[in-house]
Amino acid sequence: MSSKLLPAPDALVGERLDTALAKMLGISRAKAGDLVQSGNVHLLGRKVHKAAILQAGDLVDLDVPEPERSLEPVSDDMAVAYEDDDVIVVDKPVGVAAHASPGWTGPTVLGTLLDRGVHITELGAQGRRGIVSRLDAGTSGLMLVCKSDLAYRAMRKQFAGHEVVKIYHALVQGNLTEDKATIEAPIGRAKVSDFRFTVTPAGKEAVTHWDVLERFGEATLAKVNLETGRTHQIRVHFSSIGHPLVGDHMYGANPVLAERLGLGRQWLHAMRLEFRHPRTKLWTTVDSTYPTDLASSLQTLRGKALGGGVTVQ
């Protein structure tokens, strides 16, 4: 425990202690009430309960719990692409899951952030606090986590309403016949495996828009805009049209091509997130760049293609 002594802000004088504390610390009123009830909050010179009224000149004595530490492996190379008091956007490396789950023993985004002492809202499902959208462990790139209760509520609505712009780059096998197109096909869990998904009439609506960025003959680099966010959506949709992601053996990719390009995972990277900031309401854009393994495989393809790849404008 560490102790903080905070003078009562003039703007909060006359408020209930739990309400004032919630505003001072950026936490929920319920969480603030729990801190008071547990004896972690005192008002110097007088007795306190959560319904006590904050008075001018009060000093709030706050015992701050040490940051929650993760017992799971953490990522040492997970970069932060954007952070403020409400949200944090990480550039997730391959091999890092969004959160802990049965059977997963590797590092997670949530565990790594908590281990670094980053404050994450308590809102969310057990073990998934602050998380409003996820990336597969085998997919790298941008992922947003909510630090404040306000952000969690607002960003959950934005993701559910398909308001967030999610741009990926994907390298798919073969030569896509069109320069741009949309795949609309429902996705559900495959009967053959608990881990695989498939296009099925019984699935949930899924919409994927794509534009060709560069052609290599044996593979095509595409920019992908997800209108919905189903599990494995990009992987399943491109596999369903006969163009699985390079390196994605689960969905039918050619292992020989992946080996030749030095890839140990699917070629898929979350390149850009665009969202309305939950507090300021300003449109916010966060960008990423290719990690080393994906950039290297592109260079190999460009070197082998006759005259280099063909870039589509």
Residues 96 and 64: beta-carbon distance below 8 Å: no
Task: Tell me whether residue 85 is one of the annotated catalytic residues.
Answer: no
Distance CA 267, CA 247 (A): 6
Dihedral of CA 278/279/283/286: which sign?
negative
- Residue 211 has, within 13 A of its CA and on its CB side, a CA count of 8
Q: Are strands 310-311 and 59-64 parallel, antiparallel or unpaired?
A: unpaired
The torsion defined by the Cα of 47, 51, 56 and 61, in degrees rounded to 10, comes to 50
Whose tokens are 């091999």? That residue is: 95
Catalytic residue among 61, 84, 136, 211: 136
Q: Are 89 and 83 in contact (CB under 8 A)?
A: yes
The Cα–Cα gap between 279 and 2 comes to 29
Q: Which two tokens stand for residue 95?
A: 């091999």
In the chain, the amino acid numbered 138 is: G
Give the helix ranges, DSSP H, for the chain: 17-25, 29-37, 109-115, 149-160, 233-240, 255-260, 292-304
Q: Which residues are catalytic?
A: 136
